Amino acid sequence: MATGHASVIDMVVNSGQVAKFVLALLFLFSVLAWGIMIAKMLTYRTVRNDSNRFMNIFMKNKSLDEILQASKGMRDCPVVRVFLAGYAEFESEFRVASAGEATADSRFFLEKIDGIARAMERATAQEITRLERFLFFLATAGSTSPFIGLFGTVWGIMESFRAVGVSGAANIAIVAPGIAEALIATAAGLITAIPAVIGYNYFSHRAKVYATEMDNFTLDFLSLIEKNFVKRASN
């Protein structure tokens, strides 16, 4: 096993400048991709825990002020940010309107609810963008790394055949080492691409799940307002 590792290292060290550049580029892609995946894993786990905690608070409390107080320690949670956006719009329009429009009918208040829904939709879009930040790099690394590795391999094979032409001896002992060195670039490209593609698909799926949860929360929030304020205002 140790000999195998040493031979691979030797092939990398003895490879040409182009192959070394390709391997260094793939190594950089791999480090950045793993860094993004680890950071996203920690972020999504925190989001999952905070979302569950906030939804438990929301389902148990019917007072928006109590929910606001309970959510102060979770300001980085996407669902909480959507709630804060809806609550801010509710404070700026709904309560002011209900206090100043004593004779307003329920249709007037439903128009205010549409404004709250739009504010929460904007907040949801912003949170999805925040959750998907840097995922484009995983997609880029996953799609381009095999081709970068293939380029290194093709270049290495070209160099091997050029060496054969210069030496004038076409035997396996001369061709094989150069081709083996060239194939390392393809292997490095696959090693970089496979985790990046898996990470991109996983985190993209999780972002879509959180987007659905935020959309569902928006409906629950609007339903709570309709029950507690629209009926009260129309009576």
Tell me the DSSP string of 68-115. HHHTGGGTTSHHHHHHHHHHHHIIIIIHHHHHH-TT--HHHHHHHHHH
What tokens appear for 2 in the block?
């140790």
Taking only the tens place, the pLDDT of each residue in 90-128 is 888 765 555 445 444 555 566 678 888 999 999 999 999
Structure tokens at 49: 């825990």
Q: Which residues lie below 8 Å from residue 143, measured CB to CB, with a gap of 6+? A: 193, 197
**How far apart are the C-alpha atoms of 26 and 142, rounded to whole Å?**
11
Confidence of residue 44 (pLDDT cuts 50, 70, 90): very high
The residue that leads in pLDDT, 203 or 20, is 203
Average pLDDT over residues 6-31: 82
Q: Per residue in 160-173, pLDDT tens? A: 777 777 766 666 66
Which of 134, 113, 109, 159 lies closest to 32, judged by CA?
A: 134
- pLDDT category, 130, cuts 50, 70, 90? very high
Quickly tell me which residue has 């292997």 as its tokens: 187
Question: pLDDT at position 81, please?
Answer: 93
Q: Which pLDDT belongs to residue 199?
A: 97
Distance of CA 76 to the CA centre of its chain: 16
pLDDT of amino acid 179: 78
pLDDT at 110: 63
Q: What is residue 102's predicted lDDT score, i.e. its pLDDT? A: 44
Tell the residue number behind the tokens 């991109």, with chain if given. Answer: 200
Provide mean pLDDT across the span 17-22: 86
- Report whether pLDDT(50) > 80: yes
Q: pTM for this one?
A: 0.81
- The span from the first CA to the last CA of the chain, in angstroms, equals 81
Angle at 67 between CA 63 and CA 69, to 5 degrees: 115
235 or 150: whose pLDDT is higher?
Answer: 150
In the chain, pLDDT over 90 holds for what percent of residues? 50
CB 14 within 8 A of CB 180: no
Confidence of residue 144 (pLDDT cuts 50, 70, 90): very high
Residue 153 burial class via C-beta count within 10 angstroms: exposed 0-12, middle 13-18, buried 19 and up: buried
Inter-residue contact 15 to 156 (CB < 8 Å): yes
pLDDT > 60? residue 232:
no
Q: What is the mean pLDDT of the chain?
A: 83
The confidence score (pLDDT) of residue 177 equals: 67
pLDDT at 210: 95
Cβ–Cβ under 8 Å, residues 218 and 114: no
Q: Decide: 147 and 189 in contact? Cβ < 8 Å.
A: yes
More confident residue, 204 or 92: 204
Report whether 98 contacts 225 (CB < 8 A).
no
The whole-number average pLDDT for the span 139-164 is 88
